[in-house]
Amino acid sequence: MTGAGADRADRADRADRADATTAGRPAPERPLALGWRARRRLVAPFAALVAATSLLALIPPHAHDTRSLFTVAAASFWLVVAIVVFAPWERLHPVWTNVPVVLFCLAVAMLRQIGGGPSSGYAPLFMLPVVWQALYGRRAELATAIGIVFGAYALPILLVDGDTYPASQWRAAFLFTAIVGGIGLLLSDLTQARQALVTRLEEAATTDRLTGLANRRRFDDNLTREVARARRSQAPLSVALIDLDRFKDFNDTHGHLAGDDLLRDLSTRWAADLRDGDELARWGGEEFVVLLPDTPVPEAADVIDRLLSGASGAHPRPPITASAGVAGYVTGTTAEELLAEADRLLYQAKRAGRDRVATVAGSVVVGQGGPRAAADD
């Protein structure tokens, strides 16, 4: 994937996850929208089974006139593997995942027909596409795969006369499909339950319990990704560290429960006031950190100034103030260095009198809307 393509994918993923968070639901997953290496790992067990089946199809004893048909079936299996690995699934509707399912089931039906019908022993292979859709597809595609399996199992009954496929095979077709479908649905339920558990655990591990914001771990991951994107695209990137002024005195006066309420209130206010694409996280204690992609430092300082101007509304008596340091990405800067610079500027704002935003160009007294050389670098 090119740098521009990766940037577009990053922005689309951020937008999807931001929308999902706003709606109070997990971010959407794109079926099979994986990188080539991940898809190779995903399909490896199935490819191994297909390879074994291909070899079995080519091993005697087979009638000489059916050898070419076995070869076609084996080639079809490998075509299915190639489609799964190399198809651009991230740009295709999930319904297209049924294309390799159809090809695979037709190849199995061919093997059954030329291998002796019901006694050929190839019927269990129909399980494979159902398992695949149960593990990696949606319910709609799983149901379609079950229908395709029934059609491929029953097709020879319609096309071949008499002894090879007696009428009793209809009963076998229905029973086989019911068993395969039941296993597929059970496996799908287990897969979804496991994914839901993993999602909850990931959210718990990356979410601050008090405020519901991203925690330091998730912010570090997102910052590392954004720094890499800024390095590729030379797009501006800013980071701000915010610290509530004299928060210990507030806790001593009003109690820790009131302090917790204040942190929750500020988190809600600030998260609502940020722009799409920005991220607010709790850094620890009374410290917050804001990630502002595609934002130069002067614009980022204005954004943070607006946030801090509204802090007093969370607790007007006595009014709450906060200080912030805003640092911008410079070519070659690491994520750790960017945070260290924001932290240095934060304490520079504290030393200059608090209630202000500091940048390398100076400081802005909160609410005054203009720079003041009170904290020159």
For 261-271, write each residue's pLDDT tens digit: 999 999 999 99
Considering only CA atoms, which of 314, 319, 339, 316 is closest in space to residue 328? 339
Distance of CA 229 to the CA centre of its chain: 17
Q: For the chain, give the mean pLDDT.
A: 80
Considering only CA atoms, which of 365, 356, 278, 260 is closest in space to residue 314? 260
What is the mean pLDDT of the segment spanning 363-374?
Answer: 49
128 within 8 A of 100, measured Cβ to Cβ: no
Which of left, alpha, beta for 207 (phi over 0: left; psi -120 to 50: alpha)? beta
Strand 362-365 and strand 356-359: the pairing is antiparallel
Rounded to whole angstroms, how far apart are CA atoms 133 and 104? 13
Q: Flag whether 9 is in a domain.
A: no
What is the mean pLDDT of the segment spanning 298-325?
Answer: 83
3-state percent breakdown (helix, strand, coil) of the chain, nearest 5: 65, 10, 25
Please give the pLDDT value at position 66: 65
Point out the least confidently predicted range of 37-46, 162-171, 321-330: 37-46
Identify the domain boundary among 151, 171, 206. Answer: 206
Lookup result for tokens 């991220």? 279
Question: H or E segment at 92?
Answer: none
Kindly report the CATH number assigned to the domain that includes residue 351.
3.30.70.270
Residues 158 and 225 grouped into a single domain: no
Lookup result for tokens 């649905």? 185
Distance of CA 182 to the CA centre of its chain: 29
Most confident of 315-319, 322-326, 351-355: 322-326
Residues 334 and 314 grouped into a single domain: yes
Domain range for 301 is 216-372
Q: Flag whether 5 is in a domain.
A: no
Rounded to whole angstroms, how far apart are CA atoms 188 and 43? 17
pLDDT reading at 314 higher than 70: no
What's the domain count of the chain? 2
Q: What is the pLDDT of residues 168-224, one digit of tens each?
A: 778 888 888 999 999 999 999 998 898 889 888 888 888 999 999 999 999 999 999
